């Protein structure tokens, strides 16, 4: 589609009740010539509504100063984070009801607000989170036990206490600068429909395998009764009394059996499965930790692992310098099924030769897994270019021309919809656009300079892809956007 044609259609949205047409893919033949079985059915168009804007009231009585670049949707709930007028970051959830093509905001709750009381302590700043198919928000979070500060010396003497970590109090607003550090407790929480937190995994939990979940949680993804998360690990060697401490990725097949049933899926400090290369045998080529991850039912997962450079030891002389991110994928229920789908050159690791592997590349962001197990990711290369891969196949690359005529430079991680359709936000020198791929053609759904329903301000930046779940089972989209006046908005894209 030519840029002029899209401009024409954009102006036509007034005639079409404010909907932006999802038609006009690139490289597509007339409908009559296409196989009816090929493409995934995408909506005819979308209406993009701002349901939250800067200055709007928050459920805790504060007001939005600005929204952070994340939102997630599922089971009729939308979760998002916002800084309020006091500069504190909080995680909120609203109930969304789409009637007659219009999103209606129902009950709203603030789930966690920075430095407010939470689970016996004080909340820290919220990181990543997720909304599951039942509308439950899942969050790995640390709380400060700051009513009971511990002098640094005392804490250092108990450095092996699982829940204790050192951190400078000055990093957090509102804390007294008195030389104290504060005990931290961390857990993975599930917030039910009433907004009540339930700790489903707590730091310090010994597992049935004999290891200990230490805390320092990374992302946590819940699908039905399954849970995948990363966390610090005290690893008990099966044949000796040796113990190692590092990072691990864990899988709970059935949350009803409790956190102790968590199985270790990956462990830092060892070469990941499929990465082995006899000629490069060394203790240096290790995984040092884990980044973002995704899960689909049946334990199918993909994750980002942090690799070391075997030729460049870090300051301590024994661990390798960070050398980029690996893409690992496997099935948590099948021991040994992990495969390295991509590995940066500096890691010295050999990627899998499976058909869905990418090869030698650095992972630019967290991977995504579609309902059928297809893995999507953004890889970056030493010349700064990026490529989006879906199932090992190239989806888009820096230098490609978008349906609206922009030369693409970078990409947010892909997002998979309920039918397997793929959404990607792509950035060019002057614009961002939300692309959708229906299996046959690529369509632009929203782009810089488009407007939201009932708002004359133009969109300048889109953030769909910063979390996992931006599309619900009905195809409704949720993400945040920056507008051309510098303000932010929580945007709901309603299929029309």
- Which residues bind to another protein, rule: CB under 8 A? 5, 8-9, 11-12, 14-17, 19, 21-24, 28-32, 36-37, 41-45, 101, 237, 239-240, 242, 244, 269-271, 273-274, 276, 278, 281-283, 298, 316-319, 331, 334-339, 353-355, 475, 495-496
Least separation in angstroms between residue 59's CB and another protein is: 30
Distance CA 292, CA 188 (A): 15
Question: Residues 194-218, buried b or exposed e (16+ Cβ, 10 A)?
Answer: ebebebbbbbbbebeeebbbbbbbb
Burial of 101 from C-beta contacts in 10 A (0-12 / 13-18 / 19+): middle
Residue 89 Cβ vs another protein, minimum distance, rounded to whole Å: 35
Among residues 353 and 430, whose Cβ is nearest to another protein?
353
Closest CB to another protein among residues 364, 442: 442
> Residue 240 contacts by C-beta under 8 Å, 6 or more apart in sequence?
none
CB 322 → another protein: shortest distance, Å?
Answer: 16
Do 343 and 351 meet the contact criterion of CB atoms below 8 Å apart?
Answer: yes
C-alpha pair distances (Å), 269 with each of 16, 248, 287? 57, 9, 5
CB of 441 to another protein, least distance (A): 9
Burial, 336: exposed, middle or buried (Cβ in 10 Å; 0-12, 13-18, 19+)? exposed
Which value, in Å, is the radius of gyration of the alpha carbons in the chain? Answer: 23
Least spacing, CB of residue 407 vs another protein, in Å: 24
Q: How far is the CB of 435 from another protein (least distance, A)?
A: 17
Nearest Cα to 368, choosing from 306, 313, 421, 311? 421
Q: Residue 322 carries which DSSP code?
A: E
Q: How far apart are CA 241 and CA 390, in angstroms?
A: 43
Quote the least distance from Cβ 389 to another protein, whole Å.
17
Nearer to another protein, 141 or 443 (CB): 443
Nearer to another protein, 101 or 195 (CB): 101
Considering only CA atoms, which of 356, 478, 377, 420 is closest in space to residue 76? 478
Cβ-in-10-Å burial (0-12, 13-18, 19+) of 13 comes to middle
Q: Which is nearer to another protein, 273 or 397 (CB)?
A: 273
66 or 319: CB nearest another protein: 319
Which residue lies nearer to another protein by CB, 188 or 305? 305
In the complex, what is the shortest distance from the CB of residue 36 to another protein, in angstroms, rounded to a whole number? Answer: 4
User: In the complex, what is the shortest distance from the CB of residue 334 to another protein, in angstroms, rounded to a whole number?
Assistant: 5
Q: Which is nearer to another protein, 9 or 91 (CB)?
A: 9
Query: Between 239 and 383, whose beta carbon lies closer to another protein?
Result: 239
Give the DSSP letter string of 172-215.
STT---SSEEEEEEEEEEEE-TT--EEEEEETTEEPTTS-EEEE
Nearest approach, Cβ of residue 248 and another protein (Å): 14
Compute the distance between CA of residue 81 and CA of residue 102 in angstroms, rounded to an integer: 22
> Coil, strand, or helix at residue 259?
helix
* Nearest residue (CB) to another protein, 386 versus 476: 476
Q: How far is the CB of 353 from another protein (least distance, A)?
A: 5
Name the 3-class secondary structure at 261.
Answer: helix
Strands (DSSP E) contained in 226-337 are: 226-236, 243-252, 263-267, 287-296, 300-313, 320-331
> What single-letter DSSP state applies at residue 260?
G
Tally the residues of the chain.
Answer: 496
Closer of 338 and 452 to another protein (Cβ): 338
- How is residue 66 written in tokens? 């600005």
């Amino acid at each position: 589609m030519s840029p002029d044609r899209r401009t024409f259609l954009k102006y036509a949205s007034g005639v079409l009740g404010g909907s932006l047409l999802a038609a006009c893919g690139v490289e597509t033949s007339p409908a009559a010539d296409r196989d009816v079985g090929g493409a995934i059915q995408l909506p005819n168009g979308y209406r993009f509504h701002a349901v939250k804007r800067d200055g709007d009231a928050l459920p805790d009585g504060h007001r939005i100063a600005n929204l952070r670049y994340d939102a997630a949707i599922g089971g009729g709930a939308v979760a998002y984070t916002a800084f309020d007028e006091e500069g504190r970051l909080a995680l909120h959830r609203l109930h969304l009801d789409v009637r007659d093509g219009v999103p209606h905001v129902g009950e709203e709750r603030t789930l966690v607000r920075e430095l407010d009381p939470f689970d016996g302590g004080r909340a820290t700043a919220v990181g990543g989170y997720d909304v599951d198919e039942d509308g439950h928000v899942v969050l790995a979070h640390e709380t400060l036990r700051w009513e009971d500060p511990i002098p640094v010396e005392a804490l250092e003497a108990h450095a092996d206490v699982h829940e204790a970590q050192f951190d400078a109090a000055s990093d957090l607003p509102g804390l007294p600068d008195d030389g104290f550090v504060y005990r931290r407790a961390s857990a993975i929480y599930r917030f039910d429909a009433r907004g009540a937190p339930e700790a489903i995994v707590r730091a310090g939990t010994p597992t049935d395998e004999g290891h200990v979940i230490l805390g320092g949680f990374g992302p946590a993804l819940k699908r039905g009764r399954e849970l995948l998360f990363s966390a610090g690990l005290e690893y008990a060697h099966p044949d000796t009394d040796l113990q190692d401490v590092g990072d691990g990725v864990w899988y709970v097949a059935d949350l009803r059996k409790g956190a102790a049933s968590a199985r270790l899926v990956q462990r830092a400090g060892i070469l990941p499965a499929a990465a082995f290369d006899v000629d490069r045998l060394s203790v240096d080529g290790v995984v040092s930790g884990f980044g973002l991850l995704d899960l689909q039912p049946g334990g199918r997962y993909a994750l980002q692992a942090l690799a070391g450079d075997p030729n460049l030891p870090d300051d301590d002389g024994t661990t390798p310098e960070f050398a980029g991110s690996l893409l690992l994928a496997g099935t948590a229920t099948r021991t040994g099924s992990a495969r390295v789908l991509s590995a940066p050159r500096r890691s010295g690791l050999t990627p899998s030769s499976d058909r869905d592997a990418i090869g030698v590349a650095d992972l630019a962001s967290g991977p995504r897994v579609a309902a059928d197990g297809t893995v999507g990711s953004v890889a970056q290369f030493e010349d700064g270019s990026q490529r989006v891969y879906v199932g090992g196949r190239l989806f888009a690359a820096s230098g490609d021309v978008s349906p609206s005529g922009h030369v693409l430079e970078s990409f947010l991680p892909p997002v998979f919809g309920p039918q397997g359709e793929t959404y990607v936000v792509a950035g060019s020198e002057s614009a961002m656009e939300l692309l959708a791929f229906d299996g046959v053609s690529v369509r632009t759904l929203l782009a810089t300079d488009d407007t939201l329903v009932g708002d004359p301000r133009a969109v300048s930046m889109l953030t769909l892809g910063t979390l996992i779940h931006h599309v619900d089972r009905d195809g409704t989209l949720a993400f945040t956007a920056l507008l051309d006046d510098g303000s932010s908005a929580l945007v709901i894209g309603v299929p029309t």
